A and B are shown apart, each in its own frame.
Chain A
Amino acid sequence: MSTSIIDPKNLVYAKPVLMNETQMHYCPGCSHGVVHKLVAEVIDEMGLKEITIGIAPVGCAVFAYDYLDIDWQEAAHGRAPALATAVKRLNPDKMVFTYQGDGDLAAIGTAETIHAANRGENIAIIFINNGIYGMTGGQMAPTTLMNMKTSTTPNGRDTHENGYPLKITDLLAQLPGVCLATRHSVHTAGAVKKAKRMIAKAFQNSLDGKGTSIVEIVSTCSAGWKMSPAGANDWMVENMFPVYPMGDIKNI
């Protein structure tokens, strides 16, 4: 019965065309994979594959360039918005986006992020916030929740010692150069569809020269959080969403 269903005319979902056959190095259940798929789908559906330049970060997504068949530059840690600034200014007709984690964007690269946004660079920033440094082994990020245990806050993040979770997308939304600052997740099919719409909006903003767009994806790091992928999703909803609420902070 089911074999007759398998026909191109019945296809409702498949791996994006721009995502190649290289198996991704991410841990099982990692949100990066879903966001990679969305970026690939949007680029393809908007017909941007020949004019897109992606800037990969340092962190877990350092090898993003191995998985999506577009032109990429791999930045030094935190510097992706500086690279993107130059790429877009020198090639104003291209679609330029960065893909960055919370350590890359909100710690070591804070200056580059804020100043690119403040200049209203016509770039899209895809920002993965999982509240932890994944690649280096689960250390505290600026986005780590209060009392959250990490390998550098083994007794939980203490605000006296470590400050507060940095809501950088809210900060960026204050800047006149920013046209879109929005926060989403990819833990359910519905959430994935919403996140995709906003990534498409961000890419369109880059093309239209409307200013800087930032799409934050509140994500899981099941390995760093030491949970199962499904358990990490539940924990995210319960603990991350109250601090990093979903939806548009700015959308003009």
Chain B
Amino acid sequence: MSEEIYLMKGNEAIAHAAIRIGVDGYFGYPITPQSEIIETLMAEAPWTTTGMVVMQAESETASINMVYGGAGCGKMVMTSSSSTGMSLMQEGVSFLAGGNLPCLLINVMRGGPGLGTIQPSQSDYFQTVKGGGHGDYKMITLAPASVQEMADFVDLGFELAFKYSTPATILADGVIGQMMEKVKLPEFRRRRTEKEIREQCPWATLGKPADRKPNVITTLQLDSAVMEKCNLDLQAKYKEIEANEIRYQEIDCEDIDYLIVAFGSAARISQKAIELARAEGIKVGVLRPITLWPFPTKIIKEYASKVKGILTVEMNAGQMVEDVRLSVNGQVPVEHFGRLGGIIPTPNEVVVALKEKMGC
């Protein structure tokens, strides 16, 4: 059997992957630079094939609450947006986390604050990883660096979301969303039947049969002792995720004196930068966190005892660098290089920054 290879945008790959893996519903609101996701879904009209519901909502607020409603039924539901739209969704994100509801969110980041720019950025790291909504919660965050990963992480995101009954986010940026690459799409998988959903998600609100108590999806607990128990249960789940689900990629790190830590498109640029630096005799590699939460703290700490310094390259003013510093805990210098406002750093700029900030 010959492999089907397609050439498409990252945003389009997400839409096709969602249809193929049997997603039940997509609810979204157009915003640049990710509108191809809903446009592709509407053009593909999966409600005529797999039965997937695709809806253009009246706002991001409505979208995320539609996701809440669908997730409460145990359905595989998702939404996508870009930075400003994600800000509007944060109330709903907090409810999804508090309600222990699995779903997939996609943020194809653009620059901010405010309306900012439609150009790519990575400035929603804090919002996504540290909890953009209220309350103590954490968000499984996958950072794709290719169109292939955009496609693959739809399945992975849902797998993790359902495994731990919690929302997961694909945190991409405008570069990954808009660029075209070769991609192998996932195999077609039928949507789950209601019977299968009732078995997999015994908490789902699909109508109460005579033989069980009512299922209620709620985040409200007025009894402080009960609420604290809910909080502790959430934290225990997060510990389990931190223990089991850290993912990262090491690129040319065997012999290094310096380490670059970068995610998403910044990691791709950094990969080119280390080629240039190595040509000048600088032994440098890239560690690319694939999960931004749970963060690959342990491996970064291990590198801290082997290298002279660590540089983070981010398309923001310095966000992930804080987690790298916490991982390293002062053992070696950790510096940040970033471009802002939607500007994508060049590999040469990264090499210059490496030399200046690391003194190499």
Contact = CB atoms under 8 A, between A and B. Distances in A.
Interface of A: 49-53, 55-56, 62-63, 65, 68-76, 79, 82-87, 89-91, 94, 111-112, 115
Nearest to A49: B208
B214 A65 contact: yes
A82 B66 contact: yes
Residue of A62, A72, A89 with highest tally of chain B CB at under 10 A: A89
Given A86-B25, A89-B53, A75 B68 contact: yes
Interface residues of B, number: 39
11 contacts: A53-B73, A55-B69, A63-B220, A71-B208, A72-B217, A73-B217, A79-B62, A82-B65, A85-B69, A86-B68, A90-B75
Contacts of A73: 68-69, 72, 205, 216-218
Interface of B: 24-25, 27, 53, 55, 57-59, 61-63, 65-70, 72-73, 75, 77, 91-92, 95, 194, 205-210, 213-220
Residue of B61, B67, B214, B215 with highest tally of chain A CB at under 10 A: B214
Contacts of A71: 205-208, 214-216
A172 B317 CA distance: 47
Contact of B58 (A51, A53, A75, A115): A115
B24 A76 contact: no
A70 B214 contact: yes
A98 to B, nearest CB: 10
Contacts of B61: 79, 82, 111-112
A190 B86 CA distance: 49
Nearest to B212: A71
Nearest to A118: B58
A104 to B, nearest CB: 13
Contact of A79 (B27, B65, B209, B210): B65
Nearest to A25: B222
Contacts of A52: 207-208
Given A72-B217, A73-B218, 19 more contacts: A49-B208, A50-B208, A53-B73, A53-B206, A65-B214, A68-B214, A74-B218, A76-B91, A79-B62, A82-B61, A82-B62, A85-B66, A86-B55, A86-B67, A86-B68, A89-B25, A90-B25, A111-B59, A115-B57
B206 A91 contact: yes
Nearest to B91: A76
A86 B205 contact: no
How would you classify the secondary structure of chain A's contact residues: helix, strand, loop or mixed? mixed
A65 B205 CA distance: 12
A111 B53 contact: no
A194 B265 CA distance: 63
Residue of A62, A68, A72 with highest tally of chain B CB at under 10 A: A72
B220 A74 contact: yes
B62 A112 contact: yes
B92 A87 contact: no
Contacts of A56: 218
A73 B53 CA distance: 20
Contact of A86 (B27, B58, B207, B218): B27
B205 A72 contact: yes
A89 B207 CA distance: 15
B268 to A, nearest CB: 36
Contacts of B216: 65, 71-74
Given A69-B214, A72-B217, A112-B62, A87 B207 contact: no
B217 A90 contact: no
Contacts of A87: 69-70, 72-73, 205
Contacts of B220: 62-63, 74
Given A65-B216, A74-B219, A112-B61, A83 B66 contact: yes
A234 B75 CA distance: 47
Contacts of A72: 205, 214-218
A51 B25 CA distance: 20
B42 to A, nearest CB: 15
B171 to A, nearest CB: 23
Contacts of B208: 49-50, 52, 69-71
A112 B27 CA distance: 14
A86 B24 CA distance: 10
A49 B75 CA distance: 21
